[in-house]
Structure 1
Amino acid sequence: MYEFLQETVADNMTRSARSVAPEMTVGDLYRLFASDDYDAYPVLRDDVVVGFVTKLDALKVFAFTPDQMLPHYDDRMGTTVDEIMSCDVIAVEPDTNLQRVLHLMVSHRLKSLPVIDKYHQLVGIIAREDIMRALARCTKRQAPPLVPCETVRCLRLA
């Protein structure tokens, strides 16, 4: 398990991260989410990370509000990413330790983080799956034996 403490973002991130522009519409964002298996995208302006947009952000434009009980679907599809993105981006650098990334993900309930260089330019993305793969790789030798099925009590949901 101590091997995991030595793991860094650079060795585990996805380097070919997709990003979106602030001017992209929610309709285009929905199509992108449908074609990819991503839950979020970094938002870039002039190659600099200026925000982060998630599926939840894209869903919020259709939520009921006190002012408007029934959002107009077609109008909301024209909303732009810069209107819904989070500008308070939690990002990490390639030399960040994975234990630190794990702490950030758990404490802020994040599924992924953009990886940026010192100029705030996107160099990749680190996701929960990347952390899980690193943990599995580092704990292979120390993994406890599996408990036989007959000794595990099954829960039944009513």
Structure 2
Amino acid sequence: MYEFVQYTTADVMIRNPVTVGPWATLADAQALFEEHGFNGMPVVDDEGRLAGFVTKMDILRAFTLRPEHIVPPYSEIMQEPVSKVMTREPITVPPDQPLTRVLQRLVEMGVKSLPVMDGDWLAGIVAREDLLDALRRATG
């Protein structure tokens, strides 16, 4: 267990994570979620800079009832751009952040993953599963 306190984000993060552009549709994002089995992903602009973060919950929020629709129009909503629902300034962590701090942040915020930023550039993503694996390795 003591080994865990020496780990940093860089030790466990997923490098070169799957990303989506802000112009991608919600259907595009949902297809990536289904293909890869994760719940959130970074949104990057044409230069590869972090523009936001989109989650399955963001897509679900797009379907909240609106006065003009008794039933939300699925096909129409799924063609909206990711930029319409994404978090524009997501909480991020640096690669050298101790995992103990990342664990605390994930628990306090109740989120499943966080983008890892090295300066202005997306370095990776760290998720609950990555921390659980690190805890298991540290005690094994």
In the superposition, the TM-score normalised over structure 2's length comes to 0.93
The amino acid that maps onto 2:58 is D
**1:116 equivalent in structure 2:** 117
Identity percentage of aligned residues: 42
Would you say how many aligned residue pairs link Structure 1 and Structure 2? 139
- Partner SS, residue 15 of structure 2: coil
Mapped pair 1:58 → 2:68: no
Mapped pair 1:107 → 2:108: yes
Paired with 2:50 and 2:23, the residues of 1 have a C-alpha distance of 14
Paired with 2:27 and 2:37, the residues of 1 have a C-alpha distance of 17
Paired with 1:33 and 1:5, the residues of 2 have a C-alpha distance of 31
**1:83 equivalent in structure 2:** 84
**2:23 equivalent in structure 1:** 23
Mapped pair 1:71 → 2:72: yes
- Partner SS, residue 85 of structure 1: coil
Is there any run of 5+ residues in structure 1 with no aligned partner, and where? Answer: 141-158
The Cα of 1:69 is off from its aligned counterpart by 2.6
Greater fraction helix: 2
Paired with 2:107 and 2:92, the residues of 1 have a C-alpha distance of 14
Deviations 1:93-135 (A, max 9, x none): 110100110011001101111111112x111111111100111
The Cα of 1:68 is off from its aligned counterpart by 2.8
**2:35 equivalent in structure 1:** 35
- Partner SS, residue 19 of structure 1: coil
Paired with 1:66 and 1:105, the residues of 2 have a C-alpha distance of 35
Question: Post-superposition, which runs of at least 4 consecutive aligned residues in structure 1 deviate over 4 A?
Answer: none
Paired with 1:31 and 1:138, the residues of 2 have a C-alpha distance of 34
In the superposition, the TM-score normalised over structure 1's length comes to 0.83
Compute the RMSD of aligned alpha carbons: 1.2
Deviations 1:66-103 (A, max 9, x none): 44331111211111100000113111111010011001
Paired with 2:91 and 2:101, the residues of 1 have a C-alpha distance of 12
**2:4 equivalent in structure 1:** 4
- Partner SS, residue 34 of structure 1: helix
The amino acid that maps onto 1:106 is V
Is there any run of 5+ residues in structure 2 with no aligned partner, and where? Answer: none
Structure possessing the higher radius of gyration over alpha carbons: 1
The amino acid that maps onto 1:83 is K
The Cα of 1:2 is off from its aligned counterpart by 2.1
